[in-house]
Amino acid sequence: MSDTPALPSLPVTFRPGHTRAILLTAGAAIFLTISGVALLLEQLGPGEQASFVVTGALIFWVLAQLARVKVVADESGVTVVNIASKRRLAWAEILQVNLRPGDPWVFLNLSDGTSLPALGIQPGLARQRAIADAQALRALAEARATAPRVEDQG
């Protein structure tokens, strides 16, 4: 029996499901609560009520940005979507996929000598799932790094 995990079929998306559900639910609840309070406070004018609703919407937007993190692997590479950035990597750029004990998320060691955090795989609420996702991404990166390139053939 091999310790190497089976490669997932591509494309595959890795994201922290529990964290995402909590953030989006909390964002919706906060928006509805703030908007409801604004409408129930009769002494507020229309502009003040609107500012409450806008504030609730802004809080929801921030939580939605936190919830959008993901790692998408396909035939040609990996797209890492973090809170404020999105980066496309070719398989050859990924030298190592790391999730060490105590790490808040996966780190990708890249061929340019840098390390890129991949917030889409994080052990916070679902540790075993994050470990399995990190192992799957590592196996994909290793398999793709050694696979023959179509553009290299004649």
Per-residue pLDDT, 124: 79
pLDDT at residue 149 greater than cutoff 60:
no
Pair 144, 132: CB distance under 8 Å: no
More confident residue, 4 or 130: 130
pLDDT at 71: 97
**Confidence band of 126 (pLDDT split at 50, 70, 90):** confident
Mean pLDDT check: name the lowest of 9-13, 64-68, 113-117, 124-128. Answer: 124-128
Residue corresponding to tokens 């950035």: 85
Whole-angstrom distance, CA of residue 43 vs CA of residue 19: 38
Element (H, E) at 143: helix 127-146
pLDDT of amino acid 3: 55
Mean of pLDDT values over 30-38: 96
Mean pLDDT for 75-90 is 95
User: Rounded mean pLDDT of the chain?
Assistant: 89
Token pair of 107, please? 């780190």
Give 148's pLDDT tier (boundaries 50, 70, 90): low
- Mind spelling out the 3-state secondary structure of 36-61? HHHHHCCCCCHHHHHHHHHHHHHHHH
Report the percent of the chain where pLDDT is more than 70: 90
Which pLDDT score is estimated for 154?
38
Distance, in Å, from the CA atom of 73 to the CA atom of 76, rounded to the nearest integer, reads: 8
How far are the Cα atoms of 38, 66, 116 from residue 32, in angstroms, in the given order?
A: 10, 19, 36
Q: What is the pTM of this model?
A: 0.79
- Tally of CA atoms within 13 A in the half-sphere of 40 that contains its CB: 6
